[in-house]
Amino acid sequence: MTEVAERSKILEGLNTRFSSLNNSSDFHAIRQKAFDFINEKGLPHPKNEEYKFTNVTRILEKQFDISKKSGHAVGKSDVDALVFEGLDVIKLVFINGEFSLELSDIEETKGLKISSIGKAIESNDPQFLALFGEATKNNNDEFAALNTALVEDGSFITVADNSIIEKPIALFFINDATNDKNYTNSRNLISIGKNSQVDFLELFSTKGNNDSFTNIVTEILVDENAHGNYYKIQNNNDNASHIGTTQIHQKRSSVFSTYTFTLNGGTVRNNLNIAVDGEGCESHMYGLYVVNGKTHVDNHTAADHIRPHSMSNELYKGILEDNARGVFNGKVYVRQAAQKTNAFQSNKNILLSDTSTVNTKPQLEIWADDVKCSHGCTTGQLDEDALFYLRARGLSKTSARAMLLYAFAIEVIESVKLEPLKNYLEHIISERLHKDF
């Protein structure tokens, strides 16, 4: 099939899906606007600079049966399998995109309001309608728009002012592709009040080996002096494609950290955009991808410094083997008003095979004159001298290699503040470095 024919077929499929949506809620107008945008703009083309190295539109060529809801056999044991040791959380579970009250565990917590997006849409929740799309206002990404047009479910979470939420909130997205392909558009809308503090986890996993596709968007509004950590753990199977957009808006004196761990998947594209829209803000972006096989992982990040006296700090590291491909694009904007900005960025990669590749590109655009910015990218092989040193002390090649790779990865893992997650990552990554790599 020609590419043009293929693309029009994809749009046709999306149209079918869009038409099948309930159009009676107030939210439908928002959907319609987003869908019009896609019809007008089309889906990203490989010639599109933003998607140069990652042909995302091809994911949709897999002809996900657009109107049919896929069945699933996900039970408590599947969720329990994902809950690692010591993880004591408020749990929201989504199966094939749909909220499962039965599998979730939502504890009444002062200052915390949790609802499903599905319910918020259905009930025309005025607070939801007011906050939705606030953070993504300036996002012109086609897949973010597609998510808005087709969103099925997700979480709507608000943290009131002056609230310290002790337990982290974990969002589990489990796709069951055992019998059918599946394609979901999940959305999270999170609003963190003034002086409040809360941690989140987004955990992804797949069952079954049919193709699946998740196009998820998370909007986070961080109010003045609020603190938060957002951990994303992507460990899907080889046939699972994933486009994840995290859109954060930070107000004055807020401190927010994001962590993106990619352990497996088919095509994975992460868009992380942070508007540093207040003085005295701190934004940290950490990422670690440890991938092999044919996994393709693309991290596009953007820190937009709008006001003075803020800092952003970014550290992304990757270990790639076999035919794995990595893409890193880190944008830092420092607007004219954002004097005294400190912005640091670093992307480091180790390639363990001749057939793995990384394309890394820092992109700094600075209009202010009194700023401190630095960036650095490195891609190389494992240090042969270090390997020899350890072997000369009696370590097997496998142990020496695993030790060096672990030492490389640990810098990111160490930044994780949530102890059980840190232990889990330490464990899973060291195990993998011994086995697969």
Partner 1 sequence: MLKIKDLHASIEDKEILKGINLEVKAGEVHAIMGPNGSGKSTLASVLAGREDYEVTAGSAEFGGKDLLEMAAEERAREGVFLAFQYPIEIPGVSTTNFMKTALNQVREHKGLDPLDAVSFLKLMKEKMQLVEIDQSLLSRSLNEGFSGGEKKRNEIFQMAMLEPKLSILDETDSGLDIDALKIVANGVNTLKNKDNATIVVTHYQRLLDYIVPDFVHVLYKGRIVKSGTKDLALELEEKGYDWIKEEVDATI
Q: Which residues bind partner 1 (CB under 8 A)?
A: 383-386, 388-397, 399-400, 403-404, 406-408, 410-411
**At its nearest, how many Å lie between partner 1 and the CB of residue 328?**
20
Give the Cα separation of 19 and 38 in Å (integer).
Answer: 14
**At its nearest, how many Å lie between partner 1 and the CB of residue 4?**
50
Q: Which is nearer to partner 1, 93 or 400 (CB)?
A: 400
**At its nearest, how many Å lie between partner 1 and the CB of residue 388?**
6
Closest CA to 269 of 93, 59, 410: 59
Which residues touch 108 (CB under 8 Å, ≥6 apart)?
none
The DSSP annotation for 70-84 comes to: PP----HHHHHHHS-
Q: Which is nearer to partner 1, 118 or 318 (CB)?
A: 318
Dihedral Cα 16, 269, 47, 31, nearest 10 deg: 30
Q: Which is nearer to partner 1, 126 or 376 (CB)?
A: 376
Q: Which is nearer to partner 1, 190 or 433 (CB)?
A: 433
Q: Which is nearer to partner 1, 138 or 399 (CB)?
A: 399
**At its nearest, how many Å lie between partner 1 and the CB of residue 346?**
13
**At its nearest, how many Å lie between partner 1 and the CB of residue 351?**
18
Contact criterion met (CB below 8 Å) for 276 and 306: yes
**For residue 363, what are the β-bridge partners?**
331
- In 123-222, which ranges are continuous DSSP H helix? 126-131, 142-150
Say how many C-beta atoms besides its own lie within 10 A of residue 68's C-beta: 12
**At its nearest, how many Å lie between partner 1 and the CB of residue 100?**
41
Closest CA to 286 of 402, 401, 422, 157: 422
Give the Cα separation of 39 and 425 in Å (integer).
Answer: 41
Give the Cα separation of 222 and 252 in Å (integer).
Answer: 9
Say how many C-beta atoms besides its own lie within 10 A of residue 322's C-beta: 15
Q: Which is nearer to partner 1, 367 or 389 (CB)?
A: 389
Contact criterion met (CB below 8 Å) for 387 and 397: yes
**At its nearest, how many Å lie between partner 1 and the CB of residue 398?**
10
Q: Which is nearer to partner 1, 354 or 394 (CB)?
A: 394
Q: Please name the residue that has the structure tokens 């969720």.
A: 79
**At its nearest, how many Å lie between partner 1 and the CB of residue 408?**
7
Q: Which is nearer to partner 1, 63 or 399 (CB)?
A: 399
* Side chain identity at residue 276, one-letter code: V
